[in-house]
Amino acid sequence: MTGDSTASFQPYPVRHLGDPAEAKEELRRAIRARRAARTPRQRADAATAFADVLQTVPEVRDAATVAFYAARSTEPGTHVLLERLAAHGARVLLPVLGSGLARDWAEYAAGEEMRERAPGRPPEPGGPALGAGAVAEADVVIVPALAVDTAGRRLGQGGGWYDRVLTLVPDGVTTIAMVFPDEVYDADERPLPTQAHDLPVQAVATTLGWRRLGPDTTAERVAERLDAAPTAR
């Protein structure tokens, strides 16, 4: 899968050569506006498609513990996969926001009705808070994003919540961003603006499919590596 078929409709900041924080804000505004325009029916269909796609990712299929998120109405929907994971006996950790957006996690209980603590905030599970370090127990981490590029750069909501969480994810654990198909950017043509604290994700899932990301995952670069490798005789 690629974002190529929709690339010409993608918003891209005109100020991308200037201050990355400003470029990020400009892009966030444009992407949030596009998300707000989706109908309830489109959102419901997307939530099922995201679940179908993510269940084909080996790390998700095999995970005993998944760090996931509870989507707000305009975000890529998570409730379908959340119920399926819980039904299969996976342990699912969801973000809990402390004061000043402090990072914490709690376990999702199957069938649980989650509540928004304040308007506009993501819904949260009611179980006991497990501490910020609980994310290190996850076998796979599925994160929200507004956009991702093919090198793994991620644009989030701007709170830095996930940037800080990603520092606690052990090496070797796959992080997967969920975005709509037109929110996957080509890293060569339209790299997302980044700052020093931004950490990359290893994969992206859309409603159409999923792929691994990063400098070494494009077909051309894999071919180059194979060419450069010593051949066995």
Rule CB under 6 A: which residues touch ligand ATP?
24, 155-164, 167, 195, 197-198
**Cα distance between residue 97 and residue 149, in whole Å:** 27
3-state secondary structure of 43: helix
Site for ligand FFO in 162-221 (CB under 6 A): 162
Residues 1-40 binding ligand FFO (CB under 6 A) are none
Out of 1, 30, 97, 114, point to the residue binding ligand FFO (CB under 6 A).
97
How far is it, in rounded angstroms, from Cα 138 to Cα 197? Answer: 22
The answer to the question of residue 70 lying near ligand FFO (CB under 6 A) is yes
CA-based nearest residue to 210, from 177, 182, 188, 185: 177
Among positions 15, 83, 136, 157, the unique one binding ligand FFO when judged by CB under 6 A:
157
From candidates 54, 156, 187, 201, binder to ligand FFO by CB under 6 A: 156
Choose one: 52-60, 116-124, 185-193, 214-222; the region binding ligand FFO (CB under 6 A). Answer: 116-124
- What residue number has its CB nearest to ligand FFO? 120
Tokens of 2: 């690629």
What amino acid is encoded at 12 in this protein?
A: Y
Burial 70-99 (b: 16+ CB within 10 A, else e): bbbeebbbbbbbbbebbeeebbbbbbbbee
Q: Which parts of this chain interact with ligand FFO (CB under 6 A)?
A: 69-72, 75, 95, 97, 101, 118, 120-122, 144, 156-157, 159, 161-162
